[in-house]
Amino acid sequence: MSFNVDLTNCDREPIHIPGQIQPHGFLIVVDSDFIIRYHSENVSDFIVGLPTRLLGTPLDEVEYVLYPNEQTGYISQLITLGKNTKTFEQINPFQFELNGRDYYMIIQPVNDLYLLEFEPVTAEMSVDMQRMIGRSISEMLADKNLQNLLNNSAEQVKKVIGYDRVMIYRFAPDGHGEVIAEAKNHDLEPWLGLHYPATDIPRQARELYKLNFTRLIADVNSIPSKIFTLADGEPQPLDLTCSQLRAVSPIHIQYLKNMEVSSSFSISLLYKKELWGLIACHNYTPRYIDYKARESSKLIGQILSSALEFRQDEENQQLQDHLFNSVEKLSKHMQRSNSIEDALNAPDANVLDVTYAKGAVLIYENNTIKFGTVPADDDLARLLEWIKTDVTDTFFCTDHLSAKYPAALAYKEVASGIIVSTISKEMGEYIIWFKPEQLQHITWAGNPEKPVEIDSNGLLNISPRKSFEAWSETVTARSESWSNEEVKAVIRLKEELTYAINQKASAIRLLNEKLKQAYEELDTFSFTISHDLKNPISVIKSYSQLLTRDASIRPEAQRVIDRIIDRADKMNYMINEVLDYSRIGRSEIDFVNVETAPMLNEIIKDLTMVYDSAKLQVTVGETPGVQGDPVMLSQVFSNLLSNAFKYSQRSDPQQVSIEGKATENGILYQIKDNGLGIDIKQLPKIFELFNRTDNVKDIEGSGVGLAIVKRIVEKHRGKIWVDSEPGKGSTFFVEFSNPV
Ligand code: ADP
């Protein structure tokens, strides 16, 4: 009895048809409870004796018709096994006999469902495939030459699946493809070398090729079988992404029909998980190949992919080594030479060698150096203007410059492709590489510009191209594309260049140091001047004092004279300080071991006598010795401690502490108070000569102490810094580095 799918009278009518499959097999979909949720309309064409209602029925109940020889529950067990081991690879395909014919069942998990796809086993394929594959592969790999490897692979696939035409089709970066190897029946015209526009294999189709490595369209003229499901609720569209039997899009069917192809089979070729190409097989009569044959050709595809990957890697490595070698040479030159320009233009390597470009320019420090073939000066100047305004990235690369900058069309023979590596945008410094136009005579299979056609109803229709006469097109204004290796080498050169420039900047810093030394010599000058000033000031003071002896002097005049004496004293004090400061600049340090404990005790003893001892809390922690000049070191501590006392005199309790400790760099002292603190904005200035903060104007001081301290500390190869918060207090840190 043959079951007829006619459930139109049923209340649970299967009206929702989420998709279709190719009719050479049939499909049953179960959920995780093994209840049938979907099935293809054509089940009854294959199986006799099915229950009248399949949808919603437990799989167990139909299993006896499917596999009369197996025990019930067998498929559920297989599914459970696959689910537990997380792979159906070991299980697929499961072979069984139905109505005297052998079938494969392929289980595919999809979300919470399991697709059970059934397809016939073909007798002609049941030869010892394993042996055949083994032989094919060794023949395939026998040749070292890449083209021969591709040709052999096409031949071997043709042998395994017996199609009329087997092509190896490679995708270009823009998505269009080219037939790069072909094995075909003699009576067919060759398609080797033909190019197909990117629209022929749209993006979503290419994504599917990455998921499913083989795809069979057994007969373009067959009528697909619908998939039924129950109409209750919102039926989920059935995801057929991984289905073996998935029906073909009508556009693709039309495309194949236009080519007079009846059956097509393709195997994905991947390079680093990306679709590199396809082994595309065409047959001019319907042709079905079973799962095992498809799997075997998939294996050939995988082996070819890895062979290609290996070869490509090897080739890329060689290219890379060659370019990196040049970068390395340039980098060495940059280290040795004082001039970056000279280094990048050495006899054994120059900028041009970093890529396979035909020309390059280096624009650096107002010089333009040209290598190889580059645009004329005017054109170059205008191109540079465009780069300055329109190229925002530090690295820019194109093989079709005129598409972005149309003026470049005028010199496409020189610069159809460019790489711009920015050294400094502010300074307008760049390295630019140029590749000439590479005239590509592409033989298109049909006119690639006309994928859209008006159909018989006058509607715009995306229909595959009907004309397959070779159509020649010349792609102008494009260069050979820049390889990853070239890009990497350019980026690497940029890194090396930046490093070298920074190093040169250090050389400038060195010059700066010398300048500083010269500056310090000026100190000597100020010393002399200050010294010479001391004398007239003491004369002013003496004469003023003489005047005060005159008893007849008026009180107002007396006050003026007192102020003169006071200012003269202040000036004298300041001159002494400046003398101190410049003395440090001039003197060489004789490093000796200095015991700091007695020195600090002495300083603190003097200071505590000046301040109110009742509220004063002085803490002295560890006081490790320091290497240096004892007099100068005493000046450092004395200045820092007296500031700590001075600027915390209004705090109650007044807390001052000092402690030192060994660090990995040397000896670190910290002098802490709970006084006025310093505003963060004024912090950097306090070490400058005569600089005083706004909050201490009413406290006596000259603003020289910290400048002296800093000078001494730096002379001792040390560092000084401060941590402070207004109103809370300050901590000065002095680190004396270990002697070298
Ligand atoms: P001064 O003779 O004014 O103390 P310094 O060179 O020793 O000169 O210090 C410069 C300025 O740094 C001081 O005028 C003061 O504004 C600030 N300063 C220094 N030490 C402290 C401190 N411990 N607490 C608050 N401010 C300080």
Statement: residue 453 has pLDDT above 60 = no
Q: Is the CB of 54 under 6 A from ligand 1?
A: no
C-alpha 535/C-alpha 521 separation (Å) is 23
Beta strands 470-475 and 440-445: pairing type? antiparallel
Do 494 and 613 fall into the same domain?
no
pLDDT tens-digit readout, 335-376? 888 888 899 988 999 999 999 999 999 999 888 999 999 999
Do 623 and 720 fall into the same domain?
yes
Average pLDDT over residues 403-428: 93
Statement: residue 76 has pLDDT above 70 = yes
Q: If you compute the radius of gyration of the chain from its CA atoms, what whole number of angstroms results?
A: 44
- Token reading at 400: 């079709």
Q: Provide the domain limits for residue 624.
A: 587-737
State the residue for tokens 């820092």.
Answer: 640
pLDDT tens-digit readout, 568-610? 888 888 778 777 777 776 677 888 999 999 999 999 998 988 8
Confidence of residue 520 (pLDDT cuts 50, 70, 90): low
Confidence of residue 185 (pLDDT cuts 50, 70, 90): very high
Ligand 1, pocket-test mutation among 692, 699, 711, 732, most atoms within 8 A of CB: 692
**685 C-alpha to center of ligand 1: Å?**
10
C-alpha 398/C-alpha 391 separation (Å) is 12
Statement: residue 250 has pLDDT above 70 = yes
Statement: residue 32 has pLDDT above 80 = yes
Domain final position from 481, 507, 533: 507
236 or 230, which is more confident: 230
In a domain, 643, yes or no: yes
Atom number, ligand 1, closest to the C-alpha of residue 708: 6
159 or 729, which is more confident: 729
Q: What three-state secondary structure class fits 318? A: helix
Nearest CA to ligand 1 atom 14: 692
Q: Is the CB of 666 under 6 A from ligand 1?
A: no
* Residue 167: other Cβ atoms inside 10 A: 28
Q: Is the CB of 638 under 6 A from ligand 1?
A: no
Give start and end residues of each alpha helix (H) in 267-346: 291-336, 340-343
Do 598 and 729 fall into the same domain?
yes
C-alpha 715/C-alpha 632 separation (Å) is 10
Atom number, ligand 1, closest to the C-alpha of residue 702: 2
At residue 1, the pLDDT reads: 29
Q: Is the CB of 647 under 6 A from ligand 1?
A: yes
Do 601 and 499 fall into the same domain?
no
Nearest CA to ligand 1 atom 11: 692
Phi, psi (degrees; rounded to nearest 5) at 419: -120, 130
Q: Is the CB of 704 under 6 A from ligand 1?
A: yes
**357 C-alpha to center of ligand 1: Å?**
63
Ligand 1, pocket-test mutation among 686, 691, 711, 731, most atoms within 8 A of CB: 686
At residue 579, the pLDDT reads: 76
Q: Is the CB of 686 under 6 A from ligand 1?
A: yes
End-to-end Cα separation, the chain, in angstroms: 102
Mean per-residue pLDDT of the chain:
84
Give start and end residues of each alpha helix (H) in 103-145: 129-141
pTM of the predicted model as reported, rounded to 2 decimal places: 0.56
Ligand 1, pocket-test mutation among 643, 689, 712, 713, most atoms within 8 A of CB: 643
C-alpha 115/C-alpha 82 separation (Å) is 13
**568 C-alpha to center of ligand 1: Å?**
23
**733 C-alpha to center of ligand 1: Å?**
14
Q: Is the CB of 643 under 6 A from ligand 1?
A: yes
At residue 461, the pLDDT reads: 40
pLDDT tens-digit readout, 102-149? 889 999 998 889 999 999 998 655 456 666 677 767 766 666 677 888
Percent above pLDDT 90 for the chain? 35
Within 13 A of 708's CA, how many CA atoms are on the CB side? 25
Average pLDDT over residues 383-409: 93
**598 C-alpha to center of ligand 1: Å?**
25
**724 C-alpha to center of ligand 1: Å?**
12
Highest-scoring range by mean pLDDT, 52-61, 416-425, 535-544: 416-425
**288 C-alpha to center of ligand 1: Å?**
94
Do 386 and 502 fall into the same domain?
yes
In a domain, 256, yes or no: no
468 or 685, which is more confident: 685
Do 501 and 371 fall into the same domain?
yes
Phi, psi (degrees; rounded to nearest 5) at 350: -140, 180
Statement: residue 10 has pLDDT above 60 = no
**643 C-alpha to center of ligand 1: Å?**
6
Write out the DSSP string of 504-516.
HHHHHHHHHHHHH
Domain final position from 479, 507, 535: 507
* Residue 548: other Cβ atoms inside 10 A: 14
In a domain, 319, yes or no: no
**705 C-alpha to center of ligand 1: Å?**
8
Q: Is the CB of 639 under 6 A from ligand 1?
A: yes
At residue 463, the pLDDT reads: 42
At residue 166, the pLDDT reads: 95
At residue 313, the pLDDT reads: 81
Average pLDDT over residues 432-461: 64
Nearest CA to ligand 1 atom 7: 705
Do 500 and 598 fall into the same domain?
no
In a domain, 623, yes or no: yes
**339 C-alpha to center of ligand 1: Å?**
46
Do 610 and 704 fall into the same domain?
yes
In a domain, 637, yes or no: yes
Instruction: Tell me how many domains the chain contains.
Output: 2
Highest-scoring range by mean pLDDT, 51-55, 254-258, 265-269, 693-697: 265-269
Do 607 and 706 fall into the same domain?
yes
**625 C-alpha to center of ligand 1: Å?**
25
Q: Is the CB of 657 under 6 A from ligand 1?
A: no
Rounded (5°) CA angle 666-667-670: 140
At residue 458, the pLDDT reads: 41
**692 C-alpha to center of ligand 1: Å?**
6
C-alpha 671/C-alpha 659 separation (Å) is 7
Of 44-53, 151-160, 646-655, minimum mean pLDDT range: 44-53
In a domain, 671, yes or no: yes
CATH assignment at residue 406:
3.30.450.270
CATH assignment at residue 732:
3.30.565.10
Beta strands 113-120 and 359-364: pairing type? unpaired
**644 C-alpha to center of ligand 1: Å?**
8
At residue 54, the pLDDT reads: 83
Backbone angle region of 214, left / alpha / beta, with phi > 0 → left and psi within -120 to 50 → alpha? beta
Average pLDDT over residues 269-286: 91
Q: Is the CB of 703 under 6 A from ligand 1?
A: yes
Statement: residue 491 has pLDDT above 60 = yes
Q: Is the CB of 730 under 6 A from ligand 1?
A: yes
Ligand 1, pocket-test mutation among 584, 641, 647, most atoms within 8 A of CB: 647
C-alpha 344/C-alpha 305 separation (Å) is 40
**703 C-alpha to center of ligand 1: Å?**
7
At residue 431, the pLDDT reads: 95
Do 591 and 720 fall into the same domain?
yes
Statement: residue 622 has pLDDT above 90 = yes
In a domain, 8, yes or no: no
**633 C-alpha to center of ligand 1: Å?**
18
In a domain, 324, yes or no: no
Do 502 and 649 fall into the same domain?
no
Statement: residue 501 has pLDDT above 60 = yes
Q: What three-state secondary structure class fits 108? A: strand
Atom number, ligand 1, closest to the C-alpha of residue 695: 16
Do 726 and 591 fall into the same domain?
yes
Confidence of residue 528 (pLDDT cuts 50, 70, 90): low
Domain final position from 507, 542, 564: 507
**588 C-alpha to center of ligand 1: Å?**
27
Nearest CA to ligand 1 atom 21: 643
Q: What three-state secondary structure class fits 363? A: strand
Is the backbone peptide bond immediately before 235 cis, with ω within 30 degrees of 0?
no
